[in-house]
Amino acid sequence: MRVFLVAGARPNFMKVAPLLETLHAKSDRVPELQPFLIHTGQHYDSQMSDDFFRDLGMPMPDIYLGAGSGSHAEQTARVMVAFEKACVEHKPVLVVVVGDVNSTLACAISAKKLGIPVAHVEAGLRSRDMSMPEEINRLCTDIISDFLFTTDELASANLIAEGCAPERIYFVGNTMIDSLTKHLGRALAAPLPYGLEAGSYALLTLHRPSNVDEPVALHCLFDAINAIADYIPVIFPAHPRTAQRMGTIQLHHGVRVIEPLAYLSFLGLMARARIVLTDSGGIQEETTVLHVPCLTLRRNTERPITCEQGTNFVVGTDPREILQSALHVLNAPPPKNLIPDKWDGHAGERIADILLGWLSPNRATAAIGSAVTSGTGPAKKTAE
């Protein structure tokens, strides 16, 4: 009885690892269960993929689809075709997708059209910004998924408001935080690079198309970053997409551009930063758990809980506002914030318990801890 777990791009690996590990650890409950790790190949450089497998202690993928880069349609289509073939050959009883990248949507569609139930981990997040490719991926994946695993109750409420049946929704917490909780000690054991001292530098990441594909937008952001570098050194591990577009930008001597970092190195830098500036989704969540102030360089967030309870400020892309917000944070004491409910390192276990309950030959109720209802999931197909 095969269960496919899909990972394709950098932010997926941390979300899949805890669930894969827990399914293996609890496999005695469903002895015929075979978790299969599928890597779509959306990210393929060692810095964007292999190094993450090493740091997270993940096994090699059982199937590598080799989709690679391309336009959205090309990339999504290549993953769909290759994934459909893998499903036809290996006949999984369930496909688990995570996050909001093109691989997430592609695999959900291919599986669903073959009649295979789909579980979406990190369902219900909404930026309400349809110019974000990830928002389209989230909406389309959620509408066809049978299990909707949410990281917070705002996400569950979004799904209810969109008409999703409550029995499909399970509030389980955040598997990316499971990975953080597990690996933080190792990340902090390594000394900081470049002679940096804890609490004395800013960490920057940028890769959203809306920020980096348009030269004027990217120049404006670096006006702000250069101004911030007058006050605090800035470390910038540049995503390949951004690195390709940095050509003509003049950088302050306090801005250090480095290669993308593997998981542990990045976590170690983030946990000890004075401030983080980012347009990433996941980093808004990680900084909240680490109690590190985060300025989100976007006009919106699909993760409002990190602003309501955590350390996140959505500051937009205007250089003056970014500088003002950064100076405000740098002049204030480090924040005291809440950690959202169920971001406790056990989300993968909750998901595994629900799925194993559903897969179990003596299927009882599948639901534990669902904020919305006691979901039962879809009708189970006979195991192959």
Catalytic center residues: 207
- Count of residues binding ligand UD1 (CB under 6 A)? 18
Residue 297 CB, shortest distance to ligand UD1, in Å, is: 14
Q: Is residue 286 within 8 Å of residue 268, measured between CB atoms?
A: no
Q: Is 120 in the site for ligand UD1 (CB under 6 A)?
A: no
**199 φ/ψ sector (left φ>0, alpha ψ -120 to 50, else beta):** left
Q: Is 259 in the site for ligand UD1 (CB under 6 A)?
A: no
Q: By C-beta, is 24 or 72 nearer to ligand UD1?
A: 72
- Of the listed pieces 43-51, 80-88, 151-159, 194-202, which binds ligand UD1 according to CB under 6 A? 43-51
Distances (CA, A) of 342 to 171, 296, 306, 338: 9, 23, 13, 12
Q: Is 42 in the site for ligand UD1 (CB under 6 A)?
A: yes
Q: Is 365 in the site for ligand UD1 (CB under 6 A)?
A: no
CA 49 to chain centre: 14
Q: Is 45 in the site for ligand UD1 (CB under 6 A)?
A: yes
Residues 6+ apart with CB under 8 A from 6: 12, 16, 38, 40, 83, 95, 96, 97, 98, 103, 104, 107
CB atoms under 10 Å from CB of 384, counted, come to 10
- Of the listed pieces 3-11, 22-30, 153-161, 364-372, which binds ligand UD1 according to CB under 6 A? 3-11
Q: Is 133 in the site for ligand UD1 (CB under 6 A)?
A: yes
Residues of 304-341 as b/e, b for ≥16 C-beta within 10 angstroms? bbbbebbbbbbbebbbeebbebbeebeeeeebebeebe
Q: Give the integer Cα–Cα distance in Å for 68 and 70.
A: 7
Which residue of 102, 174, 226, 278 would you call a contact of ligand UD1, by CB under 6 A? 102
Q: Give the integer Cα–Cα distance in Å for 84 and 40.
A: 12
Residue 99 CB, shortest distance to ligand UD1, in Å, is: 7
Q: Is 101 in the site for ligand UD1 (CB under 6 A)?
A: yes
Residue 96 CB, shortest distance to ligand UD1, in Å, is: 17
Distances (CA, A) of 35 to 27, 126, 139, 326: 9, 29, 26, 45
Q: Is residue 130 within 8 Å of residue 101, measured between CB atoms?
A: no
CB-based contacts of 306-310 (< 8 A; 24+ apart in sequence)? 306/340, 309/337, 309/338, 309/339, 309/340, 310/284, 310/285, 310/337, 310/338, 310/339, 310/340
Which residue of 9, 17, 172, 204 would you call a contact of ligand UD1, by CB under 6 A? 9
Which residue of 36, 143, 240, 330 would you call a contact of ligand UD1, by CB under 6 A? 240
Q: Give the integer Cα–Cα distance in Å for 180 and 176.
A: 6
Q: Is 21 in the site for ligand UD1 (CB under 6 A)?
A: no
Which residue of 34, 48, 153, 157 would you call a contact of ligand UD1, by CB under 6 A? 48
Q: Is 39 in the site for ligand UD1 (CB under 6 A)?
A: no
Q: Is 207 in the site for ligand UD1 (CB under 6 A)?
A: yes
- Of the listed pieces 44-52, 53-61, 87-95, 287-295, which binds ligand UD1 according to CB under 6 A? 44-52
Residue 140 CB, shortest distance to ligand UD1, in Å, is: 12
Q: Is 122 in the site for ligand UD1 (CB under 6 A)?
A: no
Which residue of 51, 55, 122, 134 would you call a contact of ligand UD1, by CB under 6 A? 134
Q: Give the integer Cα–Cα distance in Å for 11 and 103.
A: 12
Residue 224 CB, shortest distance to ligand UD1, in Å, is: 21
Q: By C-beta, is 43 or 350 nearer to ligand UD1?
A: 43
- Which residues here bind ligand UD1, judged by CB under 6 A? 9-11, 42-45, 48, 69, 100-102, 133-134, 207, 239-241
